Structure 1
Amino acid sequence: MLWVNFLHFYQPPTQKKYWVDKITEESYRKIVDHLLQNENAKLTLNVSAVLCELWDTYGHHDVINKIRTLLERGQIELTGSAKYHPLLPKLPDSEIKRQIYLNELSLYKYFGIEGPILSKKYQDGGQISLKGFFPPEMAYSSHLARIVGELGYRWILAEELSYAYEFGKIDFSRLYKVKGTDLIIFFRDRYSSFKVLSGQLATSKLFLEEFKEKGTSGKYFLTAMDGETFGHHRPGLDKTLAEIYRDKSIDPKKISELLELPFEICEVETLPATWALMEIDITSGVPFARWDDPDNIIHKMQWDLTYLAIECVNRSSFSGLKDEELSKLSEFEVEKYKKARNLLDRSLHSDQFWWASAKPWWSLEMIERGAKELSDVVDTAPDSTEKDKEKARKFYFDIITTGFEWQRTGKVDETSRKYDEEIKMVVDKDLSKYSKKDVLEMVDRLTKEMNELSGNLEFERATQLRNRIKELLVFIDKNYAD
């Protein structure tokens, strides 16, 4: 089985130390340790530059060093991305390019890797070059692809629905190129990725049985998901991942290695999509619904505030000046501009929009934090007018009060429940393909993990597994006769 696996490591710039420590311990460190213990294991990895900075700040230097070791061994490759995890198709071109450049700077600092922008700038030949690009949230548009290609990246990763708004249309015996460019586009296998990240394949045996026809007969098999899936969202699944990589029937590859194989390359028209796109969003014609829903007034205000902040920073007379030019100007005003510019970079992260969707995810804390950051950008930018500042403060107030109203009136609960049930229906529908014995094996594996966690006093994570075990037992009672 020719298997190409992609993992995304990311935490928002606003993330608290508790969560960085917890998720690093439960997922990131475990994954890299499993890889170090098996030199045959390979994958393509996106490590967000802002997460590297959080690791640096909170003392997780061992994870950075282990990733560097895996790079030196050739077991992993890193991809380019946008430093602060914005939804790139919604940003102006200048902000897209800046976010990609900032990400390259950080990856060079932590791993000694040069991306195509830095290679052109310094012409000093980094040890390892970034060939591929991962757009945060897998938020893809053909316009973004053109920018990524022009910057010098060789390939981009996208959701399979960016090929066609139907599932199962990708021919994985071919490679694809974005029409009108030289940029290769790799599509993830949506169904297979979901089977893994939803925790349905809790053993390596189930994984191999489910996908025995994939990645064979001249085809490859590409999965992509968040790194937190393994160990944090799905306790114990990191061990399953390690088991899969130990199986001799698996031939793991990095995405860029597919370029070296004799696949036919076909040019293709592409569509906007994300890896969270659902059929209801396709029907509604809203490809970025979790971040930009035209029926969500909070989203509208968030984006209006975002564009106001971008305008205020880029309107500044300091915008576009090089460091040597800035050094000749008023130190106080220059520092104000640099502070506003840095605040804007950080505040463009996609999380604030995601948590305002209530589909099914909702966090008023994350919404407030994002709105406050953007409002602070406008307050700090040296050329912001009083009208700009008042407008930003009003957006902030209206976003928060609307969020409270949604909670008070039950709108959040109603919307969240609807989408939560829709996701659960998809999971349970797929479970029906398995025998009772297979599902009982899942229960047995999860029970062992739960008991291990309880023994380590990790009761919160043990409770997650207990709830999943209960769901599986209810499913067995409803769907299998004795």
Structure 2
Amino acid sequence: MYWANFLHFYQPPTQKEEWVERITKEAYRPILLGLKENPKAQITFNINGVLFDLWREFGQSDVIEMVGELVSRGQIELTGSAKFHPLLPKLPEDEIRRQIELNAKTLREYIGRGYQPKGFFPPEMAYDTNVARVAREMGFSWIIADELSFPDLPRAESRGDRIYQEKESGITIFFREREFSYRILSGQLGTGNLFLEALGDRVGKNEYLLTAMDGETFGHHRPGMDRALMELLKLDEVQTILLSDLPEHFPQVETVETRPSTWALMEKDLEKKVPFARWDDPDNEIHKLQWELTDLAIKTVRHSSKPGKARETLDRALHSDQYWWASARPWWSLEMVERGAYELRETILAVEDAGDEIKQRAKELYFAIVTLGFDWQRVGKVEQLAKQEDEEIRMRTDAAFPKLPKAELEKMIAHIKDEMEEVAKHQEYERAAILRNRMKELEAYHAEAAE
């Protein structure tokens, strides 16, 4: 039994220093240190180029060095991606290629010859056949997508014995096992025993489990999960493997037709045929304004004979976060929405030969986005949208916890308690409080399980 695990590290170019430092301390650094201490473990990573830049800018060079060391040891591999984390299916092809090239240039600068990517990760796992084709043409041998990209995908237990090939481009496509990934990142499989129990008789078979998750989950979003991950990676019953090595062990290849998806896609969005709903929802008026401004910025820069600094500011301004935080499903940040609109507006205003009408429209769109955001907050629309979505997510996350064995819940609580005591010794009281709250949640589940 093989476990091909994929982790994604990323922070937006607008991220503040304190958050880069905090997330690095709580998630990125512990994961990398854990891998150094467990030389048999292997994980495939995507680390977007912009995060390397932020690490250097904010004095986190030790993390860059650890990444390079783990690559040279063969414990991790780095995929290709788009440097500033744009939603690739929404971009013109030349912008897709530019973002991929910028990312490769940046990672070669930091990692050197060790950066030889075979696979490609589209940001947000936002996949369509056009992105697959571009990745193939740019030399990548495989791409990763959510299992909902494959309409006729069989049950997870029956598909881990083969490799899939996308019909149109011919690129190898690895499908993320959605449910298993979710059970790990939600904390439901927080011990080795729970992990093995969930695998069931798959453990004794010649097949692979493929999971993919945000790296921030382990220690930042989910306190204590960084230690749980290290426990899972040490299991003797499951051998970890890099995604690029899977074809060597599984020669059977099946050709498939795919459809657009992301790793945040929900069944209701699939039914409505809106695969990118959290970034481009036709019912979301802010999204409509954001994409009008985005398209205007792209066209203005591309059609300019002297774009100047606007070319580089456009690269940064295309990050996907601004649309995500405008979804209110359930995530909302007017600060992130405003910052994204501001960067796009400033990009257009920096183009010397852009007409006055274009620049005026950019100002109008920026104003409309920000004022509509305030309106949403004022009338309670943000709370309404967020509550509906958050209830669905919470129901799915919490439902399984009271059903877990008491002994395993106790082990998960112990992981968090150890970390809480450790950070308290270093007077990191805010972090200790977060860990305490998470421990109380698990203790409540433990009490339910005892009834």
Is the shorter-chain TM-score for this pair beyond 0.5, marking a shared fold? Answer: yes
Verify: 1:257 aligned to 2:245, yes or no. yes
The amino acid of 1:36's aligned partner reads K
- Cα deviation 1:422-477 (Å, max 9, x = unaligned): 11111122335423443343334333433433343333333333333333344455
- Cα deviation 1:268-304 (Å, max 9, x = unaligned): 0001111111122122221111100111000010000
CA shift, 1:96, in A, is 0.5
Q: Is the 8 A contact 2:223 2:438 kept in 1?
A: no
* 1:188-203 equivalence runs, <5 A: 188-203=176-191
For 1:301, the equivalent position in structure 2 comes to 289
Residue from 355, 365, 369 that aligns with 2:339: 369
The amino acid of 1:144's aligned partner reads V
Name the CA shift for 1:91/1:165 in 2 (closer, same or farther; >3 Å): farther
For 1:37, the equivalent position in structure 2 comes to 37
Which runs of at least 4 in structure 1 moved beyond 4 Å after TM superposition? 476-480
For 2:90, the equivalent position in structure 1 comes to 90
The amino acid of 2:187's aligned partner reads G
For 1:285, the equivalent position in structure 2 comes to 273
TM-score by length of 1: 0.89
Aligned partner of residue 404 in structure 2, secondary structure: coil
* 1:14-413 equivalence runs, <5 A: 14-113=14-113, 128-164=115-151, 168=155, 171-214=159-202, 216-318=204-306, 337-413=307-383
TM-score by length of 2: 0.95
How many Å separate the matches in 2 of 1:204 and 1:478?
A: 22
CA shift, 1:46, in A, is 0.6
Q: Is the 8 A contact 1:3 1:215 kept in 2?
A: no
CA shift, 1:417, in A, is 1.3
Q: Is the 8 A contact 2:404 2:449 kept in 1?
A: no
Q: Is the 8 A contact 1:85 1:136 kept in 2?
A: yes
How many Å separate the matches in 2 of 1:369 and 1:91?
A: 20
The amino acid of 2:71's aligned partner reads L
| Alignment: residue pair count | 450
Unpaired segments of 5 or more residues in structure 1? 114-126, 319-336
How many Å separate the matches in 1 of 2:418 and 2:29?
A: 21
The amino acid of 1:69's aligned partner reads E
CA shift, 1:66, in A, is 1.2
CA shift, 1:309, in A, is 0.1
- Cα deviation 1:82-107 (Å, max 9, x = unaligned): 00000000111110011001111111
Aligned partner of residue 400 in structure 2, secondary structure: helix
- Cα deviation 1:221-277 (Å, max 9, x = unaligned): 111111111111122211222222222223110000012223311000001111111
Verify: 1:453 aligned to 2:448, yes or no. no
How many Å separate the matches in 2 of 1:366 and 1:215?
A: 44
How many Å separate the matches in 2 of 1:6 and 1:468?
A: 25
The amino acid of 1:66's aligned partner reads M
Aligned partner of residue 282 in structure 1, secondary structure: helix
Q: Is the 8 A contact 1:32 1:67 kept in 2?
A: yes
Aligned partner of residue 291 in structure 2, secondary structure: helix
Q: Is the 8 A contact 2:121 2:143 kept in 1?
A: yes
Q: Is the 8 A contact 2:304 2:353 kept in 1?
A: yes
CA shift, 1:63, in A, is 1.1
Name the CA shift for 1:128/1:394 in 2 (closer, same or farther; >3 Å): closer
For 2:3, the equivalent position in structure 1 comes to 3
- Cα deviation 1:339-398 (Å, max 9, x = unaligned): 000000000000000100000100010000000000001100122111011100011001
How many Å separate the matches in 1 of 2:434 and 2:275?
A: 31
Name the CA shift for 1:432/1:271 in 2 (closer, same or farther; >3 Å): farther
For 1:416, the equivalent position in structure 2 comes to 386
